[in-house]
Amino acid sequence: MQIIENTKVKEKLYIDKLENGLTVMIIPKKGIRKKYAIWGTHYGSNNSKFMASGEKEITIVPDGVAHFLEHKMFEQEGGTNSLDVLSALGVNANAYTTNDHTAYLFESTENFEPAFDELANYIQHPYFTDENVEKEKGIIGQEIMMYDDEPNWVVYINAVKAMYSKNPVRLDIAGTIESISKIDKDILYKCYNTFYNPSNMVLVLCGDFEPEKTIEYVKQKQVNKEKVGKIDRIYEEEPEEINQKEIIKKMEVSIPSFIIGYKDKVVTNDIVKRHIAVEIILNLIIGKSSNLYKELYNSGLMLQEAELAYEFTDNYAYIMIGGQSKKPKEVQEYLNKEIENMKKSGLNEEDFKRIKRMIYGDYVKEFNEVGDISRMFLADYFKGINSFDYIEEIEKIDIEYVMSVFKEVFNEDKQVISIVEPLN
């Protein structure tokens, strides 16, 4: 068992690779009542085209299978639903699908072992029939239609579509009503057997655990499966340039909402360092304490604090600045002027140090809550990152590096805008 200690946040990470290939990560929290378990697979909505280990032919499945599979995993033979079983045990259980992974989780203050037994059971014993697959299509179809009418979702997905022309990140995670109509039990079993192998999965536990005893307990709950080799994930080549400059959609809203996006390149080295640099830059440009935000807010152009995000995996990376404004295009003009001014004058050293301290404090706070810790370690693991790296790397970041990332990334030729505006 590997032990990694971070003295700055006073946490230890225990990592063990089981014989069946499952990676188990435990972050013990002595004396904490709440326990959290999250079991994830490196399989998300972007993985519709792949070559399974040992196969020579490419498999192409309809969009939305990863999300559909997540829904169906809870249903067990005999008509029982694992969510109902977990709820009866008094634990809070859930699941979610992203572009690059799917995760099943629960948190509990009691009944951890029976809850974990249920988690291990339904993840390792799928039950798909023609009837239960057909029934699920109606449920997921309603979910898709609901999101199509949700302004926050529309403004986000249109920003991604403006940036990307080929990458599947531009597609709805749930697929479309047409794509899910093509899903059957054979497709679900094919994707389950390919991606739900333990060697493609990770289990993260956080709470008052004794790592050695817990590892032995987890081992007892494993179904014997042969490890699989590398799964080839196949993507169309994405052009460097953006797809289109803007997408404007009219919906039933009272105030326009917008997202200004920047298409970034995918990097394989220093990804944590780059992520931190982008966070610092976003806060310097239009964060809560920035001059630009104060000016936009005082003039009535921004109605609330901007939402700032940097999303990345091994095959896409983008930045988003979102908010509400009666004049989104004017916000974009102000933003572009501020960026040009900052490039000419350079970054303010005092502001840089202050923002860096603030972000460091935010990173440390993420280690206070068992759920935040578990989800963070799981998501970072699938990106090839140890979450402790953020605590270590931020201290090494200097203003020169941040300025170089700033000049490289924040350019108008990589910028898009998505707007949802009122019908009238």
Identify whether residues 194 and 295 lie together within a single domain.
no
Of 5, 11, 19, 70, which one is the catalytic site residue?
A: 70
Identify whether residues 206 and 112 lie together within a single domain.
yes
Establish whether 70 is a catalytic residue: yes
Identify whether residues 315 and 371 lie together within a single domain.
yes
Residue finishing a domain among 233, 255, 277:
233
Q: How far apart are CA 209 and CA 219, in angstroms?
A: 15
Identify whether residues 143 and 55 lie together within a single domain.
yes
For residue 172, the model assigns a pLDDT of 93
> With contact defined as beta carbons under 8 Å apart, do 413 and 263 qualify?
no
For residue 227, the model assigns a pLDDT of 82
For residue 199, the model assigns a pLDDT of 95
The residue among 111, 117, 69, 73 whose CA lies nearest residue 92 is 111
For residue 225, the model assigns a pLDDT of 85
Q: How many domains does the chain have?
A: 2
Q: What is the CATH number of the domain that holds 405?
A: 3.30.830.10
Is the residue at 277 inside a domain?
yes
Q: How far apart are CA 139 and CA 131, in angstroms?
A: 13
Model confidence, pTM: 0.93
For residue 375, the model assigns a pLDDT of 97
Is the residue at 239 inside a domain?
no
> With contact defined as beta carbons under 8 Å apart, do 95 and 102 qualify?
yes
For residue 140, the model assigns a pLDDT of 94
For residue 49, report the phi and psi dihedrals to the nearest 5 degrees: -135, 120
Q: In which domain, by residue range, is 330 found?
A: 246-422
Q: How far apart are CA 373 and CA 312, in angstroms?
A: 19
Bridge partners of 81, per DSSP, are 75
For residue 184, the model assigns a pLDDT of 96
Residues of the chain with pLDDT under 50: none
Residue 381's identity, in one-letter code, is Y
DSSP 306: P
Residue 279's identity, in one-letter code, is E
Q: How far is CA 36 from CA 10, 208, 221, 226, in A?
A: 19, 10, 17, 27
Identify whether residues 229 and 316 lie together within a single domain.
no
The residue among 62, 341, 46 whose CA lies nearest residue 187 is 62
> With contact defined as beta carbons under 8 Å apart, do 14 and 218 qualify?
no
For residue 3, report the phi and psi dihedrals to the nearest 5 degrees: -120, 125
130-162 as b/e: b if 16+ CB within 10 A: eeebeebeeebbeebeeeeeebeebbbbbbbbb
Distance of CA 153 to the CA centre of its chain: 15
Tokens, residue 221: 């709950």
Model pLDDT for residues 203-259, shown as the tens digit of each residue:
999 999 999 999 999 999 999 888 888 899 999 999 999 999 999 999 999 999 999
CA angle 270, 274, 275 (to 5 degrees): 120
Residue finishing a domain among 181, 210, 233:
233
